[in-house]
Structure 1
Amino acid sequence: MTDDYETYELGDFELQSGMTIESAKLAFKTFGELNADKSNAIIYPSWYSGFIADNVWLVGEGMGLDPAKYFIIIPALFGNGESSSPSNTPKPRNGARFPDCTFYDNVRAQHQLVTEHFGIEHLRLVLGWSMGAGQTYQWGVQYPDMMDGLLPFCGSSKTSPNNVVFLDSLKGALTADSTWNNGWYHQQPDVGLRAFARVYAGWGLSAQFYWDELWRQLGYATLDDFLVGFWEGFFLQRDANNLLTMLWTWKHGDVGGTPGFDGDTKKALGAIKARLIQMPAHEDRYFAPEEEQRVSEFIKGSEFREIPGVWGHFAGIGANQADTDFIDQAVKEILGD
């Protein structure tokens, strides 16, 4: 995490549950300039355990998200350690007492930033990876008239039972560490975080990725070097309560929970009006392409476009150039560039 971002003061922010985050904060970073008629804005939300800086790989000169053309806003999830989170919220909402947040809550906060802080009434595009994709779907349902395009990649509009199994295994691995102490730890539960990372490693990439030893392309000499250096190294830099807060949000992801739809996910998906390109990744073990293809039946005009290759979920994180180019091309297409 770096301090290279801004913070928008949301005030006392009431959540969908009825609970409130007092003096809530939404962290964000912008790229490019907002044009005179405020018609070039794009929202690109963060993902599970990701910091704002982890989204920047898809932003750059000559790319679809070109700061010379567009005003790109990257807002951070509640719980990521930059926006209001268990780790940075004062008592009594700190640590294990931080309230549960839904995708609806996150998107409403982002909408407040966009409309009240920047005075933007319409967006060119909302896009995101993984939980960022979940927020993209949520934007399309929650504010259907506000954007021209939606581009969720490697994510879903509703968290599947298979995904819930994965998330519960993560939580079980982390909280089995006695240091966790029901969320009131005095030091990070490193044993639990290492176990958490090892569970994640088995789901984040495809079997073929491991057969082909593609971790070598990331600079690792052996499989164990990759598991320790990449996976354990990543999650040991995160706060346990923050991870569990975002995990709850992911687990309960469902656009059907948007007010007015009474839990009817299909009806909620039918409310999407913007052009939508759904981009699941081949062999993604969290968000299976066939699940997203079924979802497309309930969205008028949706286009289904599977990211090829063997990187699984990691197709959408900028880990290899072929997948990055595939995603970037779709961004340019939906923007009409």
Structure 2
Amino acid sequence: MPDCDCDYMLPTKEGWEEHYDNCISKWNSNVPCPKYADGSIRLLNKNLAGMQQDFIYHLGLDTAKYDLKSMFGDVKFVCMGGTKYRMKEFAKHMAKILNIDYEANNLSKHSHRYAMYKVGPVISVSHGIGISSMTILLQEILKVLYYAKVKNPIIFRIGTSGGLKIPAGSIVISSWGLNGTLEKTYDLPVLGKIRKIPSVFDKRLVQELQSMVTEEDGFITYSGGTMAADDFYRGQARLDGPFCDYTSEEKQSYLQHLCALGVRNIEMEATAFAAMAREAAVRAADVCVTLLDRLNGDQVTTDKELLLKYQERPMVIVGRYIAKYYEKINKT
């Protein structure tokens, strides 16, 4: 068995996983591990090696005009979220807690699609709503990290969600993703056939993030399953969409069934995010705040000011975790 290559972010505590899921000592797939010995990303698509120039279209970057290694070679963390506003605010948050002089500069402004900012070792980038938009962004970020020869990156998704039997304002750190047919897979049609890719997040990373929460934070943090719906209304059993062909009782029965399966929240990205990160042997975590308990209703009625405060909570946890890394490298 190969030796462990974990770059431990925090000292191991009792009950924690000994290794990260992408540790070479745990890699038991029938394909080579998609990272090199130094921890840099090793994308297994052989077609990339034969390209003289790669246009990373939706980020407005390419491998000829831009020196991606110079721009992003020092990156350790990528944090993704739905809206451009949220990710701009996260970039400002990271600049403050890392004490870095920073002026917001959207590095993907020429694409007119996503917004991407860089603060020290951190990329903060928007991904839009839903799996289709998020996976375009994620795959292009993986290519940027590959060309930049980034070593052992960690990718976070911070977002909002509907909770299940937990109060609004709670944080859910996802253990696994569940699709609309109640399977822990991301189902992707490729060449006319469905490929089922396992949707599981790194166990130790979840444990490390949970350890960042304190009683003084004033909110509760849960870990568990996250359902990723393909639709905001019927796909999430809402009663308030333009179409609804089920009863309130059927909706409640379905949501209760999700709870029994261990699902803590519902959003629209987790399955694909977990699956693609795992396929690339990149550690990833999905950290979402709940805006309501879906068992008590469908519409978000909380006032805007409180919602904005809720959305800061995933930033607090992820930012605190990144700060621990920054403290670590400054001591060495």
Range of TM-score over shorter length:
0.3 to 0.5
Larger RCO (alpha carbons 8 Å, 6+ apart): 2
Structure with a larger share of its residues in strand: 2
Structure with a larger share of its residues in helix: 1
